[in-house]
Amino acid sequence: MAFAVPPPDYHLARPAVDAFGGYHGVKYRGALPTTFDVTRQVMSTIQCGKTTYHLRQPAQGYFTRTTDDSGGGEFLVEGLPRPITGTGRRPQEAHREWKRQFHATFQRLFVMRPFEMEDADRRVWTAIETMVDVERYRADQPLIVRQIGMVCRARPYPLAVKWEDGTKERVYLERMPGEFATYKAGQPFEAVIHRHPVTHKIMSVEYIKRISQMAIKTTESDDLWNSVPTSAALPDADWD
């Protein structure tokens, strides 16, 4: 029986049995302890900046050297095809680069419809979907909204705001930029808010700015409307 080059759609994912212990909560239970192997890493999530990808089950990544003795190598993850590869002189460098490669590939393919994908893209996306809980990722993406509101309760620090549409909401300083803690009752502000896609609760507030007044008043909006020039102000004329 021969050992052969696998077809392009074959991506072996062996069970992740070794780990750098407590980092990932996966404990080695086999007979051959590789817990202390610094070239291997078991991942239950992939974190790139503020983006987290939750895996359906722990995946095993490994650093493998280049074929020559120039040093350095590649970081690969079992179950994912070679286009997603991190290179670096040290395992950590290669792992960081791998995460960027994965993140870029995921984001590129995530927004594509199946008919838009080339065969190679489809193979990669199938492997990613097998590994990553894509539905959870979709559900975790916050709604980013710009809102205008006013602090309506601030004793001893801002506790609640009233938004432009009249709704009131409890706010927590931990989720607000530091400056918000100095706002007094009645202070209007605008904010860029990350809200949970299902509950619409505030997850975090990325940006906040004091404004002079909360919203335009009815009389002001009428004045503005009336100040717009109309055809009534034009002189009488005809085409001839």
Partner 1 sequence: MNLNKPPIVEMWVEFLFEPNPNGLVEPALEFIKGFGDQYQKVEIAREDTLEFRQYSPTELPKVVGRTTAISHFRASDVEGTRWLHLTPNHLVCNFLRLGERYPGFANLSQDAVEKLKKYVEQCQPVKIRHAAIHYVDVVDVPITGKNEIQLADYFTLGLDLPTDPFGNQLSYLIRTAVKPTDGTGLLEIQLQNESLAPGGAAFRFRLDWHKFCPYDGEIDPDKISADLKLAHESVMRSFRAVFTERTWKLFEPKD
**Residue ranges that bind partner 1, judged by CB under 8 A:** 1-7, 10, 12, 14, 20-23, 31-34, 36-39, 62, 64-67, 69-74, 76, 82, 89-92
In angstroms, what is the minimal distance from the CB of 17 to partner 1?
A: 10
| Phi, psi (degrees; rounded to nearest 5) at 99 | -65, -40
CB of 38 to partner 1, least distance (A): 5
Rounded alpha-carbon distances, angstroms, from residue 105 to 98, 114, 128: 10, 15, 9
What value, to the nearest 5°, has the Cα angle with vertex 75 and ends 70 and 78?
A: 140
CB of 96 to partner 1, least distance (A): 12
CB 188 → partner 1: shortest distance, Å?
A: 38
Name the token pair of 105. 């590939």
Instruction: Please identify, using beta-carbon distances, which residue of 1 and 232 lies nearer to partner 1.
Output: 1
Question: Of the two residues 36 and 207, which places its CB atom closer to partner 1 in the complex?
Answer: 36
CB of 18 to partner 1, least distance (A): 10
Burial label for 193, CB within 10 Å (0-12, 13-18, 19+), is: buried
Tell me the two tokens of residue 237.
Answer: 């004329």
Report the phi/psi class of residue 25: left, alpha or beta, with left for phi > 0 and alpha for psi in -120 to 50.
left
Q: Which is nearer to partner 1, 34 or 57 (CB)?
A: 34
Q: Which residue, 7 or 235, has its beta carbon nearer to partner 1?
A: 7
Of residues 39 and 130, the one with the C-beta less far from partner 1: 39
Q: Which is closer to partner 1, CB of 70 or CB of 212?
A: 70
- Whether the CB-CB separation of 184 and 174 falls below 8 Å is answered with no
Nearest distance in Å: CB 73, partner 1: 8
- What span, in angstroms and rounded, lies between the C-alpha atoms of 210 and 203? 20
